[in-house]
Structure 1
């Protein structure tokens, strides 16, 4: 059970093209996700950003895009500078009655240091639920 990925699904009241742009255009991403210096939806593109608990430790996230199927799927690795472990985040899009079903999957969390409470699965679940169900939903509204 611990090795199960986090999956967050949300039907968004927006076209696939609009959702795809929101998850792949750095100028749009900064409004609901992270403010990235650079981002390109191209396999092999590497990007990084700082993030963590608002009042706590910040971590340098190191990511590399591993799969791109335009307007269908975006996957990238997600790891932390100076820590063991590597995980993968996927955004999958499908049309659903003139809306977009977004399915976010974050797998491999069990590879992160288990003794660090910042890497607890519940923190990731809470974060992704907020990002998809509140931040992205409100941005697209």
Structure 2
């Protein structure tokens, strides 16, 4: 769903019910080895433990060899909320428990160019499908 922020930016909102515990989904959103299985690029954090933290710098490396993207973690509240910038985009991942072994993921991407809404909608819809497929192929980890 396309909307507008108070700052006049465009926002696409996706909501997915996932039949997996929140800790498993959180790990898929934050662990570099899991991100490699479904995310569009490889994400590197500027910390030695390779986990996000507020104000951590991010590098988004592409398999195609394109110039890496950059960002900063702006919100970090495990296992509930992760928000970061990726060049001119802001990505916000919110998880809420939805029963004992399920959760709801609300993902919002915020951007400036309305013409990007179609490609971003298609791309993130595919990415969220890949996340769900990845989660279904791997047993829960604690």
Q: Which runs of 5+ in 1 are unaligned?
A: 80-85
Deviates more, 1:26-35 or 1:1-10: 1-10
- 1:128 paired to 2:128: no
Q: Are the equivalent residues in 2 in contact too, given 1:13–1:140 (CA < 8 A)? A: no
Count of residue pairs brought into register by the alignment:
124
In the alignment, structure 1 residue 27 sits paired with structure 2 residue 22: no
How large is the Cα RMSD of the aligned pairs?
A: 2.4
Indicate if the aligned counterparts of 2:72 and 2:84 stay in contact, CA closer than 8 A.
yes
Alignment TM-score, normalising by the size of structure 1: 0.77
- Taking the TM superposition and a 5 Å limit, the aligned residue runs for 1:1-141 are 3-33=9-39, 34-38=41-45, 39-51=50-62, 58=66, 60-79=68-87, 86-98=88-100, 99-107=102-110, 109-110=111-112, 112=113, 120-132=116-128, 134-141=129-136
TM-score by length of 2: 0.77
Structure 2: which 5+ residue stretches go unaligned?
A: 137-142
CA–CA distance in structure 2, aligned partners of residues 73 and 59 of structure 1: 28
Instruction: Give the Cα–Cα distance (whole angstroms) in 1 for the partners of residues 61 and 116 of structure 2.
Output: 18
Tell me the distance in 2 between the aligned counterparts of 1:71 and 1:40: 12
State the shift of 1:62 in Å.
Answer: 1.1
Q: Does structure 1 retain, via aligned residues, the 8 Å contact 2:42–2:61?
A: no
Confirm or deny: 8 A CA contact 2:36 2:42 kept in the other structure: yes
* Runs of 4+ displaced beyond 4 Å: none
